[in-house]
Chains A and B, each alone.
Chain A
């Protein structure tokens, strides 16, 4: 599979990836390296992982990072309740200690969390480690070990080595600087806001029923809006919401009705000061330029 095939496969699943990005993903897949995606919120980092899973017809395993995430939630945990119940039941049946012990520390009693689940699949899954910058630095160090060795040691059970290597995608919104060690081990791609053609292609892929003229207007409008000084710049998800809102209201032309346009802006502008900044006059001026 070359990178162009991958690009086509992604496009079939409704994800329009640029050439750079396709090459980066292709390398991540062929070289078995994790891919670190950075970029503003709403440029489609997380979506890429799920589209990649669809394109390769494998499972998506997702680990959402947050402050205080620890090994028990990320790797594995014993199912204590079940173990206790089993011990109770075994005591009544008169089973011996050793047999029970072997039984309750077997794979059946192990709760697989995303990282362990990802390395025990028969078909290499896509492992999405989302918003790695939210996790603590200690967890990052731990993650490094798993990403380089692809094995997990469980004291009671032994070492679990990866059956297949998952395709690892890490995303970061840049709320803190990641360690150099992590960056070194990953391939890197910075996801920008899409340009006009790309965004139009995304819009057409996601909302095929949209009229060509309105689609071009919507994309033009959002592109122009991104040039304004906003606190929260609208991402692609916002564009799609905006398009859905306009279609839902049965609007055929952006410049038709400034009032309705202003109402639908709530899908694009997410802070009070941005709303105040884009007055109806500004909005219709931008719409006029975009048309």
Chain B
């Protein structure tokens, strides 16, 4: 890992390499433009760029824009500059018969060869535009997971379009919250006396400019957590399509997947290309269809992301069947923690639609007292029908 990449002698120079690196970052989901490349080159002139550490620090400051990208940056840097990726590459297709082999090739290969494919400069395999993207191919991973599924097999674009409409409807039902308080606004139904008097100072005490105030919209932010453990596989198609639709229709929404781990998929799902978004999501959902640790995952959420993204104006939507392998006390504590942030919690359980279902699973029973709404949902139609219930929250 520590060796510096040897570039081919034909390589046109440092500027081209940095450009290649930028393209590499772009392929892996960082949003960077030409201006950043230019800035990076200028910045590298300011320090001793031949020192890998300094170059890393410089490029990190310029190319990243949030915590997630900072965490992502180091492996990407290593894979490009530290001999895990090459500039001159042949696209080696290990299983040419499969059309979506990009997702699989890097995981099955081991060692240095693993990161070989997928520079921005390399031509793609020609498998069609949606399938041949280079998402994450250079990220080296040692973790093996036997329960690997490509979510792209599960979710179809038509589902997402349909789910988008549902999500929009649900979002609108949740969002219609107006504050009691009035604040200054350009167009308002009442006069803002304090501001009017203040403004009248400029005109010698004559209130010529009338200031107004209005009740501001306080949109509820939707935070969706989807369980993708083994027992939920049957419903995954609906829920993942719903998540994708939600992210598309609502720019403030936030989405997470959990099974035994918790991952934030908001950024991945915001990708404009729907199938690529799902592809990125499936990369992140390592361990899809595995065991479920709902309580610990929710606990982790409450302790980390919730502190940043959940407040009194959030609605936390949990999509899970409540079959938890962890003790119920963990679930209880996690939801109590989450509640303290002042949010509303809605639990959508696909099993509740069954006849004679009772929430007897220990985890589910422990969760019940903390929920604002506990509903059934196993089809998109069910989700669409939720808006009335959500409205009364």
Contact residues of A with B, CB < 8 Å?
2-3, 19-20, 23-24, 26-27, 30-31, 33, 35-36, 38, 68, 78, 80-81, 83-84, 87, 174-175, 177, 180, 183-184, 186-190, 229, 231
Cβ-defined contact, A84 with B65, below 8 A: no
B58 touches A23 (CB 8 A): yes
A152 → chain B, closest Cβ, in Å?
A: 18
B65-A183 in contact (CB<8A): yes
Chain B residues near A184 (CB, 8 Å)? Answer: 31, 33, 35-36, 65
Of the residues B33, B62, B201, B309, contact of A27 by C-beta under 8 Å: B62
Establish whether residues B303 and A187, one from each chain, have CB atoms under 8 Å apart when the complex forms. Answer: no
Beta-carbon contact of B57 and A19 below 8 Å: yes
Which 3 residue pairs of A and B lie closest in terms of their CB atoms, listed nearest first? Answer: A183-B65, A80-B201, A23-B57
10 extra interface residue pairs, beta carbon distance < 8 Å, beyond A23-B47, A31-B43, A190-B64: A19-B53, A20-B61, A24-B61, A31-B39, A87-B204, A174-B67, A184-B33, A188-B65, A190-B67, A231-B337
| Interface flag for B42 (CB, 8 Å) | yes
Question: How far does the alpha carbon of A68 sit from the alpha carbon of B181 in the complex, in Å?
Answer: 13
Residues of A within 8 A of B204 (CB): 84, 87
Considering the chains assembled together, what is the distance between the CA atoms of A190 and B43 in angstroms?
19
Q: Which residues of A contact B183 (CB under 8 A)?
A: 68
- Please judge, given known A-B contacts A80-B202, A183-B65, whether A20 and B39 are in contact too, CB under 8 Å: no
A-side contacts of B187, CB under 8 Å: none
Inter-chain contact A31/B201, CB cutoff 8 Å: no
**Smallest CB separation, B35 vs chain A (Å):** 8
A46 to B33, CA, bound (A): 30
A187–B70 CB distance below 8 A: no
- What separation, in Å, do the CA atoms of A199 and B58 have in the docked complex? 24
Question: What residues on B are CB-neighbors of A87 within 8 Å?
Answer: 204
Q: In the complex the two chains form, is A175's CB within 8 Å of B202's CB? A: no
In the complex, which of the residues B33, B57, B66, B308 contacts A183, with contact meaning CB atoms closer than 8 Å? B66
Question: In whole angstroms, how far apart are the Cα atoms of A2 and B54 in the complex?
Answer: 12
Report B289-316 CB contacts with A as 1/0, cut-off 8 Å.
0000000000000010000110100000
A188 lies within 8 A of B64 (CB): yes
Decide yes or no whether B46 CB sits under 8 A from chain A. Answer: yes
B234-283, CB < 8 A from A: none
Is B182 in the interface zone, CB < 8 Å from A?
Answer: no
Task: Tell me if B60 is interfacial: C-beta within 8 Å of chain A.
Answer: yes
Q: Which residues of B contact A33 (CB under 8 A)?
A: 39
Could you tell me the distance between the alpha carbons of A81 and B204 in the complex, rounded to whole angstroms? 9
* A180 and B31 contact, Cβ closer than 8 Å, known pairs A23-B47, A27-B46, A189-B61: yes
**Min CB gap A88→B, angstroms:** 10
The answer to whether A27 and B70 touch (CB under 8 A), given A80-B201, A180-B31, is no
**A24 CB contact (under 8 Å) in B35, B57, B67:** B57
Among candidates B53, B54, B62, B201, residue contacting A81 with C-beta atoms closer than 8 Å: B201
- Contact (Cβ within 8 A) B46 A30: yes
In whole angstroms, how far apart are the Cα atoms of A83 and B201 in the complex? 9
